[in-house]
Structure 1
């Protein structure tokens, strides 16, 4: 279990984490989301003692990380997959870590096979691809068979098979009663993996709830509708917050009105409807609504140069 109480971190005049409190419980996958610069990585670093809090407290399995006599057996963390000796092989890197905790070589071989590193185990880490580096980082996190696993962007650089493997791994660890805390920018993958979400923005918690509650509370209802009179149905539903998109001649996707309201409007207007399919709100939509005012760095589309100007003039 991870317990944070009024946890803060300041770097000079900048407050990276601003008095947050949360609990990451065992037996479920807890996702950690937030825009760039929101304080996610700083929070994870404080959990494992790499940064000291400016205020508040955070404990893992009842103790500060530094108080655990064998931390690798309590907490396994992937925070920076590049934090390895590049001239060592993956096998020797893991063996060196294992030696600090009296972990047998049999466990080293076990995590190598578990993470798919077998074919490259004797190769130097400096030549690894991003995805293989991530697999090594996960192997390091699992080396001590820990009660708590913390993974920061674990699917970064992985192929589809690797992404699916991380999903099953996280769910499997949680099913064993372990605490699993992970961050990811892939909303579709987080929606498939996490049971609970903690969302942070500008250093403060803006949501802490089961993923189903976040989807229900912040995702707009969408419904796929087939009708022989789409234009008339759209007019019947014309109201604040109700929008529609025509996907095919007789197929609409309506946002902002649930199936019952659509059916009532169709009945009142004597409009034939022969399909009503509710669509689950996406985690991406819910996340964007939650963090719309919390994004520190905004992207803007550059205006296109008028015809005949721009790139050609610079040649």
Structure 2
């Protein structure tokens, strides 16, 4: 079976900084692929490339069988939530949902369903500028799911949000995966590593891929190593 994402020898530079030096990986249908790295490792840059938002220096990226340098057809089957809100700031929640539904040719029934599943009813008439981050992320995910995407690309969707919103979002992602969807999500809090099928660790322009348990062990090893280097643990 063809992978949903195939990245081959991806090279990216920002100014003089070499961000990725020839990384390659695949994401299979039904996987939840987590991208981890410390600040500046390139997590957001990578998801922006996968979503067709940013161009890249060299290499090849195929999404759903499409070479993204040659066509944008893959975007019809894509749902995206970025760290910078993609919602319209001068609109209410319901106006955002209705407008994005129109853009994606989604039905009114799809809007009502997402309102119920992400429990947005009490916020529909509120301007998005007045929402706390947890509700904002729920609205963003609802908009991303309106076109029934095959692939969800998420950038730190559960960072710094309330527990109720986090659990609603994780429940929605579990249902999305159970129905055959594929997900790629960045994260910077290692407590969330168990939510993923695989963990891609970005560091120094390179990528290592682990299963969640092996990633946890590597994280613990590095925590201990750097603690010892700093003199925090003096045995």
Which TM-score bucket, shorter chain as reference? 0.7 to 0.9
Q: Distance in 2 between matches of 1:289 and 1:173?
A: 36
SS in 2 for 1:150: strand
Q: Which residue of 2 aligns with 1:104?
A: 107
CA contact (8 A) 1:134 1:156 kept: no
**Equivalences for 1:142-291 in 2 at 5 Å?**
142-191=145-194, 193-205=195-207, 207-215=208-216, 218=217, 284-285=219-220, 288=223
CA contact (8 A) 2:37 2:43 kept: yes
Deviations 1:180-205 (A, max 9, x none): 111222222222x1121111112210
Are residues 3 and 288 of structure 1, via their aligned partners in 2, closer, same or farther at CA, if it must alter by over 3 Å? farther
Q: Which residue of 2 aligns with 1:230?
A: none
Deviations 1:66-92 (A, max 9, x none): 7344724x1111113523221201111
SS in 1 for 2:66: coil
* TM-score of the two chains, using structure 1 as the length reference: 0.65
CA contact (8 A) 2:154 2:185 kept: yes
CA contact (8 A) 1:80 1:137 kept: no
| Residue 38 of structure 1: how far off its partner (Å) | 0.5
The CA RMSD measured in Å over matched residues stands at 2.4
CA contact (8 A) 1:4 1:57 kept: yes
CA contact (8 A) 1:75 1:148 kept: yes
Are residues 17 and 129 of structure 1, via their aligned partners in 2, closer, same or farther at CA, if it must alter by over 3 Å? same
Q: Which residue of 2 aligns with 1:78?
A: 81
SS in 2 for 1:67: coil
Number of residue pairs matched by the alignment: 224
The runs of 5 or more residues in structure 2 that have no matched partner are none
Are residues 185 and 68 of structure 1, via their aligned partners in 2, closer, same or farther at CA, if it must alter by over 3 Å? same
